[in-house]
Chains A and B, each alone.
Chain A
């Protein structure tokens, strides 16, 4: 019996102790008409058999050379990260409610909070949320709760925020009477046009979301945007990429007074792509907003002997105590992913992370140079980008993507569905994991697809 240790003797002894004739007798409180019969499930497999099946399935996944970003990024993950994070003591540990028996997890979370607070230039970080999109939704809800001056519950959401993030926010806040107002972008620069904020100046806005780096890979005018929010009584919510923050000015330093809340997806920090999850979301804020911060928080304190230790704190905000009045219904953080990310950040350090960011940026520059050298291929946005950029092709984007896939490359993200105004445009990402040969190969293959359309591989 898989994973069940009971022998016939055990069963007999236990039933005797209970005075029950059989295990079935223990279910006698359940009405007979509710009992289901046999279920139509595939027959049980031994570990050897499921291993074979899963190897075959993994083999059925085609390994494509990755040039896609759009919210999930392939970075090198040091072997030590998962060797340590997969230890049974981390992997099979419960939520650290019994603090004395969970000092390992709690200290890791405290270190994580410290690192994220510094990376984002904020005062505090929570112990993580599900992913970047849900952390943005929580940031939006938090801003509405926190901004006492605003009555409107209106959020300005730029179109340069990841479309998948925007739809998640709509789903999550839709039932809470919040108003999401879309902010258009300047089609020439790929950025929020600060002038487009003019119609909102002087109106009641609870918060402005500012992506850095935005969905197109383009760098926004974060200082101007943050100052506008401040001047207009709105909170500034920064949506950021954690690796980029090793290179770019953090939200805490944007504008004259800094952003109020910073959020995003921590997947780039040592988390594998894994088909889309599990990742983790981070949420950080200024000290003033601490009591509205959802999710778990780990605090440092002392024990009965005065020695330092860690514990979950400010839990009264959470669902298991506030119930209907909780700040959110979150009762988990992504503990294991955060453990991995903390080890990753400790291994890379500030210099390593900066080099990952810089090399990703350089590789994207190189690819864009190679692409724009192809006749008919153009760079769509002229301004500075981080490690993603948009190019337009004379052939349909779908054709280019299909052709690249046939040639073993995941070419990027087609923008034609969500941004048809950009024409046949593709968002491409190059991280530090791509070699010079990889980059040249991509450019060569696009060239051949553009110059000789309709060719087989």
Chain B
């Protein structure tokens, strides 16, 4: 199966989450997700300052054949969106884990515990196949 770094948390809806210093969480989509989507052509990102809830759709990744809603894995406030994606949406296809989408200042980091580890995510994705 596609690449699955061990040090990240994963959502069933194919986002990865990486906690950072200062209580922020960096979010992107998995290698599996970008493979399913195909060539990414456009990304719609949330504005800094927007408040989101865990499980709320707050971004869209568009390929030629599909548009995928991206759900924030945690509740909090968007601190930054990855501006480089507007010129180079294809970077998500090239390296899904380097091409992060947005960073959230989490209200409650324990929400991350509800996410999956690499093994469980792999199992859930294969099951859906």
Contacts and interface: CB of A to CB of B under 8 A. Distances in A.
State yes or no: do A and B come from one complex. Answer: yes
A53 interface: no
B64 interface: yes
Contacts of B69: 325
Interface string A309-353: 000001111000110010000000000000000000000000000
Contacts of B65: 315-316, 321
A322 B66 CA distance: 7
A325 B62 CA distance: 13
A57 interface: no
Chain B at the A interface: SS class: strand
Interface residues of A, number: 9
A148 B47 contact: yes
B44 A316 contact: no
B64 A315 contact: yes
Nearest to A322: B67
Contacts, number: 25
A444 interface: no
Chain A at the B interface: SS class: helix
Contacts of B42: 291, 314, 316
B63 interface: yes
B63 A316 contact: yes
A316 B66 CA distance: 5
Contacts of A321: 65-67
Contacts of A314: 41-42, 62
Contacts of B57: 325
A414 to B, nearest CB: 47
Interface string B60-74: 001111110100000
Given A316-B65, A325-B67, 12 more contacts: A148-B47, A291-B44, A314-B41, A315-B64, A316-B41, A316-B63, A316-B66, A316-B67, A321-B67, A322-B67, A325-B57, A325-B69
Interface in A110-169: 148
Nearest to A326: B67
Q: Which 9 pairs show the lowest CB-CB distances between chains A and B?
A: A316-B67, A316-B62, A322-B67, A321-B67, A321-B66, A148-B47, A316-B66, A291-B42, A291-B44
Nearest to A292: B44
Q: Which of A315, A316, A317, A321 has the most CB of B within 10 A?
A: A316
A137 to B, nearest CB: 22
